[in-house]
Amino acid sequence: MNRQKRIRAASLILILAPTVAMTGDAPALKEIMQELRDNLIEISDGILTDDFEQVAQGAASIAEHPKIPPAQVALVAAALGPEMPAFKRLDNVVHDLSVEISAAAEALDRDAVISGYQRMIEGCVDCHSTYKKRVAAVLSSQPE
């Protein structure tokens, strides 16, 4: 099912069973992550082809990624408990780096772009190695 169809199906569910559909048409965490991957590829493509505009664009998209739907945030918070602030901190690390990369790209500063890019990949993987499996298990046990 493509995204458009999924959104349409989700709105249909929303009309038919308002109490069941919690997330509406906001992208789920997994979809947000798939977009982050596309944006990261955009940044690396830009680095490899000396296209700073593309780098800036990919980084800006990461900086402005949609918020996790409130229903999913609640599930994650319930599962992680006191670890929730650490999870949010890891999200902030990636966010701050995306802003840094975007500024470096606009300044045509290749070294700063590459340094930010390397730290960003570490940031993605830091969260994944600690939380990805646990959070994915919590979210996949819930109907969307």
| Residue selected from 3, 8, 37, 67 as contacting ligand HEC according to rule CB under 6 A | 37
Between CA 60 and CA 35 the distance in angstroms is 12
What six digits make up the tokens of 60? Answer: 């800006």
Q: How far is CA 24 from the centre of its chain?
A: 18
Binding part of the chain for ligand HEC, among 9-17, 77-85, 89-97, 101-109 by CB under 6 A, reads 89-97
**Three-point CA angle 82, 79, 125, nearest 5°:** 80
Q: How far is CA 78 from CA 41, 95, 135, 139, in A?
A: 32, 23, 11, 11
| Residue selected from 56, 59, 62, 75 as contacting ligand HEC according to rule CB under 6 A | 62
Q: In whole angstroms, how close is the CB of 135 to ligand HEC at the nearest point? A: 3
Binding part of the chain for ligand HEC, among 3-11, 14-22, 47-55, 118-126 by CB under 6 A, reads 118-126
Cβ proximity to ligand HEC, 52 vs 58, nearer residue = 58
| Residue selected from 29, 47, 68, 101 as contacting ligand HEC according to rule CB under 6 A | 29
Contacts of residue 58, defined as CB under 8 A and 6 or more positions apart, other chains included, come to 39, 40, 41, 42, 43, 45, 46
Query: Which residue shows structure tokens 């993987």?
Result: 125
Can residue 43 be called a binding residue for ligand HEC (CB under 6 A)?
no
Q: Which residues bind ligand HEC (CB under 6 A)?
A: 29-30, 33-34, 36-37, 40, 62, 87, 90-91, 94, 120, 123-124, 127-128, 131-132, 135-136, 139
